[in-house]
Amino acid sequence: MTDQFTSDPTKAAQRMRAGSMVIPLMPWGIAAVLLMVLPFIFTANSAITIMNQMAITIIFALAYNMLLGQGGMLSFGHAVYAGVGGFACVHIMNMDDFFAGIPLPVLPIFGGLMGMGLATIVGSFSTRKAGTVFAMISLGVGELIAACSVIIVAFFGGEEGISGDRTYGMPFFGVEFLQQIEVYYLITAWLLISAALMYLYSRTPLGRMANAVRDNPERAEFLGFSARWVRFFSFVASGFFAGVAGALFAVNYEILTEENLNTTQSGLILLATFLGGVGFFFGPILGAIVFTLVQTVLSLQTELWGFYLGIVFVVTVMFFPGGLAGLIMMHVPAMRLGKLGRLGIPYLKTLGAGAVGCLGGAALIEMTFHLRHASAGDHSMTLYWITFDSHTMLPWIVAIAVTLIGFGVARATAPALAEAWNDANTPDGTPR
């Protein structure tokens, strides 16, 4: 019994603090270099558009995770703060004299302040309680402001929205932001600054207390902190960065409509953030990247991309609540033991087969969709680079067979994978 409480002198090593600043700065350095060279790898205009969209979504998802992951607040209306920040920036773009006096890279600060201002007002009553009350208020406010877009036409521009021209700003060291690539560097600079600031925020006393209030608001109160104020400050900070994301959207697309702040948009950012994983700082970054790829690349391939995204989301919530980041971090113990390699082959067998099964299933869904929705007489469809007649039996038989075999093999090899997983997570020499 007693040895359970005595400190173990051999564990002195774990008390060592990371004294050097090099290791914590490494991921940031790599990210900066990567963002710098990416446009030289993906040179197409469409690729840069996707990367711009991705960077904006990353900022927004990180801001959203200040609430969901760090603060334990589930918001169904966070697009409002990004949207309002964006609208404000388009209005500034249209204020000729004022806009001519400020360089474009400064504009996101105004968007941020606008998002922050609105978050201050809404947060003053919505952060009193977390949980269901907060979620419901966020939903209500989200609907309310989305409805305002057709009421307060002067600000939201009604159904068409409002548009502006980013190039009227004061030239920034001669750059007028006529080209996508210039906008790309503006957005990525803001991405790095925002991500770093949000990361640093999570290491401050207030950021730590946001976690404490998330875990146990009552305990936090008995430590001298008002849970409500802690939530309020997180909410306001999150509103600022959401506003920055909205401003960058305005810079990138030069148009904002009701779609940018409605509940669909709020739902999508929740989806992207959760998919990436709320438990780790880098989770929302992964989520935003994957989500943007699905939204832009997969949506070109199939009209049903939302359907697949929905399935992935439900599966994530049910089986991998840690999201992508959680899945990755799950492998750290095996990596520490140096046995990660033992998972390679079993993974390939099970997941490979599972992927084949998924492709087969997707084929069935696509064929059904084609059968029901293609114009009359249009029997020919193309799937996975194969063109065939969706009204004949053969493709159906093939698709069903592929699905069954894929999932069947995945299921048959699953025990071997579980075995390999246990092995990889057990130190050698431990009796089992």
Partner 1 sequence: MSAALELDGLKKSFGQTEIIRGVDLSIGKGERHAIIGPNGAGKSTLFNLITGRFPQSDGAIRLHGQDLAGKAPFQINRMGLSRSFQITNIFPKMTVFENVRCSLLWSMGYRYNFWSMVGRSRALTNGADQILEQINLTARRDLPAGVLSYAEQRALEIGITIAGGADVIMLDEPTAGMSHSETDYIVDLIRTVTTGKTLVMVEHDMGVVFGLADQISVLVYGEIIATGTPEAVRANPKVQEAYLGEALEAH
Contact positions vs partner 1 (CB under 8 A) = 1-2, 4-8, 11, 14-15, 17, 200-201, 203-209, 211-212, 214-216, 218-227, 229-230, 233, 237
The residue among 5 and 319 lying less far from partner 1, judged by its C-beta, is 5
Contact criterion met (CB below 8 Å) for 58 and 82: no
Query: For residues 106 and 223, which CB has a smaller minimum distance to partner 1 in the complex?
Result: 223
Smallest separation, CB 72 to partner 1 (Å): 10
- The β-bridge partners of 170 are 103
CB of 324 to partner 1, least distance (A): 19
Nearest approach, Cβ of residue 101 and partner 1 (Å): 30
Nearer to partner 1, 225 or 305 (CB): 225
* Closer residue to partner 1 (CB): 230 or 275: 230
Question: Residue 219 or 379: which CB sits closer to partner 1?
Answer: 219
CB 122 within 8 A of CB 141: yes
Minimum separation from the CB atom of position 140 to partner 1 (A):
26
The closest alpha carbon to 278, from 76, 63, 122, belongs to 63
**Least distance from partner 1 to the Cβ atom of residue 239, Å:** 14
Which of residues 224 and 431 has its CB atom nearest to partner 1 in the complex? 224
Nearer to partner 1, 137 or 230 (CB): 230
CB of 14 to partner 1, least distance (A): 6
Smallest gap from Cβ 378 to partner 1, in A, equals: 54
